[in-house]
Structures are given as C-alpha cells and as structure tokens.
Amino acid sequence: MKFTAIITTTILAATVAADSCNRGGVYCGSSLLRKGNYRDHIVETLQAAGQPTSEDHIQNSKFDCIDGGDIVYREFCSRGCGGTDSTDPDYCF
C-alpha cells in the first residue's frame, strides 16, 4: 500500500513539473492558466501580495517564475497582457 502511494505521488509530481513555468520566466496569469493548473496558486499568490482575486486580476497580473514552478507577484496589467502567445516574456500593454 505504501509503495503504491509513493508511486502515485511521484507520478503526480512529475505531471505538475511538466506543466510548470520556466524558472526566470515572466508570465501573465492567462499564460500560466494555459500552461498548467495554476488557478489556485495564482489566487493564493495574489492574496499573499494583498491584491484582488477577481478574474481580471487572475488573467492580467504578471508573475515571475522561480524554483519548482513557484510564482511571485510582479504587477497588475490594467490594460491587459501582451506576448502571451510567444516564447518571449509576457508584458503589460
């Protein structure tokens, strides 16, 4: 039973890592949501930074990607995000 739990945990961790942002990258929320299951993490990060958690802030806030796919709030793009469909860093309009 423990062996099965370890295998399951390892598989889940690998799946999350495969969908993680790249360390050093700059991503808008909309890009992170397309990349993987980041919604809860974005909301938690916005709350920790004292920012609103509206859909607009989830989609149009910009984050720095750090180790292990973790993100740090950078800024809110009030006019929206650009570069979200490219390999270049996302930016504010």
Q: Residue 27 pairs with which residues in a beta bridge?
A: 63
The domain spans of the chain are 2-92
The pLDDT value given to residue 47: 99
pLDDT (tens place) for every residue of the chain, 93 residues total: 554 444 433 344 444 444 789 999 999 999 999 998 999 999 999 999 999 999 999 999 999 999 999 999 999 999 999 999 888 999 999
> How high is the pLDDT of residue 49?
98
What's the pTM value of the predicted model, to 2 decimals?
0.78
Q: Which residues pair with 63 in a beta bridge?
A: 27, 73
**Which pLDDT score is estimated for 1?**
53
